[in-house]
């Protein structure tokens, strides 16, 4: 019955979004349904809501979202993103490379707010050729490709730790999935983009490359601070904001103005409610019921865990099901790297269509579409990728 209740909670979101209600109303409806169906006491409702602010893993999402938006305002004020796009045009002279490459690069930032910077470049590269739903899909799909593999993301580190598998071999095994993700995202829409960006060809590509670094040094520095010096996202962005304030010679009045303009109420509210919903689902303990339910299916154990990770990631995001399911999976199956690759791919495919995925909120808000529209646009690609990765797992187990 607990799983039926969970289905009803998500059905509330689907129905309200289908009725063209704003996302915050859909999530509020889901929160009310969860509280009633699972009989969550008022004290627990309050404590789980407050937990978004007291648990740094949750609160840092809101803080980093605000800080990245603040940095975006600074870069916009000095036209750095637009100039970077011109540099890309000169360097590659290919609109398709801009639309795919920029989200891939910015996706190295382990922050939902990086979606805003990705969306800026994708919109500029695809306006007039793709509609907003397609632009949102391209932004979300390509921005998340690095998240499937890189150890800058919590899910990858958590699964490696719990499975005992070496990260180097895992990353090697993920080369094919990453290429597959790029191809699955490329063919539906990119062939409609003309290669020619409509700008003159570069006369000096070395100069364009240097200019690209000059205009994106702030993002590159954030990456260096995180990857090389183990900075937290919030600390890294704050450091770069301080340096950018001097480098771009912002006045105090400009910096003060960004404090207000970076406070995107709708975006922050939607993100906050998504985080509260994740806390509610975690409180119910419904995830712990999934293994026993799926184990009754007449299918191989590896496929049971693949489905567990897929369904669990849709329900609560990747980290929750990774923490719950990884010890169970590797205790039940001597799967090694092939199993880790399969489970990570299932998590990745499911997270791209999960209603509790904060990045989808950011992308849908930016392109002024509903999250339901973005999820519907992504479902076919996610399912194709998941099916291909099942085939890849069978191939790996046959040759490893």
Q: Which of 153-162, 282-291, 347-356 has the highest mean pLDDT?
A: 347-356
From residue 338, give the alpha-carbon distance in Å to each of 106, 166, 314, 369.
28, 12, 22, 37
What span, in angstroms and rounded, lies between the C-alpha atoms of 335 and 358? 31
- Interhelix angle 114-126/56-77, rounded to 10 degrees, is 40
pLDDT above 90: residue 203: no
pLDDT at residue 64, as a whole number: 78
Considering only CA atoms, which of 267, 316, 259 is closest in space to residue 288?
A: 316
Of 51-55, 124-128, 271-275, 323-327, the one with minimum mean pLDDT is: 323-327
> Chain centroid to CA 349: how far?
11
> Chain centroid to CA 393: how far?
24
What span, in angstroms and rounded, lies between the C-alpha atoms of 286 and 108? 32
Q: Which residues contact 337 (CB under 8 A, 6 or more apart)?
A: 165, 169, 170, 173, 396, 400
State both tokens at 261. 């303009």
Residue whose entry in the numeric block shows the structure tokens 């890309």: 88
Element containing residue 8 per DSSP (H, E): helix 2-18
What span, in angstroms and rounded, lies between the C-alpha atoms of 365 and 344? 27
For the chain, what is the total number of helices (H) and then of strands (E)?
A: 21, 0
Residue 141: helix, strand or coil by DSSP?
helix
Q: Read off the DSSP letter of residue 190.
A: G
What span, in angstroms and rounded, lies between the C-alpha atoms of 24 and 49? 15
**For residues 316 and 282, is the Cβ–Cβ distance under 8 A?**
yes
Phi then psi dihedrals of residue 333, to 5 deg = -130, 135
What span, in angstroms and rounded, lies between the C-alpha atoms of 104 and 99? 9
State both tokens at 184. 């699955």
Q: Read off the DSSP letter of residue 148.
A: G
Percent of the chain topping pLDDT 70: 93
Q: What is the pLDDT of residues 39-85, one digit of tens each?
A: 889 899 899 899 888 888 778 778 877 887 888 788 878 878 777 76
pLDDT above 90: residue 1: no
Residue 116: helix, strand or coil by DSSP?
helix
pLDDT above 70: residue 154: no
Q: What is the pLDDT of residues 156-170, one digit of tens each?
A: 777 887 788 887 788
pLDDT at residue 357, as a whole number: 83
Mean pLDDT rounded to a whole number for the chain: 83
Q: Which residues contact 119 (CB under 8 A, 6 or more apart)?
A: 135, 136, 139, 362, 363, 366, 367
- Interhelix angle 42-54/56-77, rounded to 10 degrees, is 50
pLDDT at residue 111, as a whole number: 65
Residue 400: helix, strand or coil by DSSP?
coil
Computed on alpha carbons and rounded to an integer, the radius of gyration of the chain in Å comes to: 21
């Amino acid at each position: 019955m607990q799983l039926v209740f969970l289905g009803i909670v998500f059905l509330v979101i689907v129905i309200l979004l289908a009725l063209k209600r704003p996302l915050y109303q859909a999530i509020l409806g889901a929160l009310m349904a969860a509280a009633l169906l699972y009989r969550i006491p008022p004290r627990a409702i309050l404590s789980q809501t407050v937990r978004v602010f007291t648990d740094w893993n949750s609160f840092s999402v809101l803080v980093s979202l605000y800080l990245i938006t603040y940095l975006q305002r600074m870069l916009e004020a000095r036209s750095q993103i637009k100039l970077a796009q011109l540099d890309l045009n000169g360097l590659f002279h290919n609109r398709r490379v801009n639309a795919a490459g920029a989200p891939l690069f910015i996706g190295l930032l382990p922050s939902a707010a990086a979606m805003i910077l990705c969306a800026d470049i994708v919109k500029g590269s695809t306006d007039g050729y793709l509609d907003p739903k397609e632009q949102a899909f391209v932004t979300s799909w390509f921005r998340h490709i690095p998240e499937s593999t890189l150890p800058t993301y919590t899910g990858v580190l958590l699964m490696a730790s719990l499975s005992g598998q070496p990260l180097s071999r895992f990353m090697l095994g993920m080369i094919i999935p990453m290429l597959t993700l790029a191809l699955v995202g490329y063919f539906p829409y990119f062939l409609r983009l003309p290669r020619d960006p409509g700008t003159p060809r570069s006369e000096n590509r070395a100069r364009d490359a240097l200019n690209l670094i000059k205009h994106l040094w702030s993002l590159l520095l954030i990456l260096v601070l995180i990857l090389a010096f183990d900075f937290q996202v919030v600390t890294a962005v704050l450091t770069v904001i301080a340096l950018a304030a001097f480098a771009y010679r912002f006045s105090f009045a400009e910096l003060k103005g960004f404090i207000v303009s970076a406070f995107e109420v709708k975006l922050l509210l939607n993100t906050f409610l998504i985080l509260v919903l994740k806390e509610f689902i975690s409180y119910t303990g419904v995830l712990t019921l999934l293994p026993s339910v799926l184990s009754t299916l007449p299918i191989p154990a590896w496929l049971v865990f693949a489905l567990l990770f897929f369904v669990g990631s849709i329900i609560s995001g990747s980290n929750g099901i990774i923490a719950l399911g990884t010890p169970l999976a590797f205790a039940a199956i001597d799967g090694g790297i092939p199993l880790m690759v399969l489970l990570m791919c299932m998590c990745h495919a499911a997270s791209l269509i999960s209603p509790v995925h904060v990045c989808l909120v950011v992308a849908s808000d930016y392109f002024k579409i509903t999250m339901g529209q973005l999820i519907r646009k992504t479902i076919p690609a996610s399912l194709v990728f998941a099916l291909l990765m099942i085939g890849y797992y069978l191939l790996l187990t046959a040759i490893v």
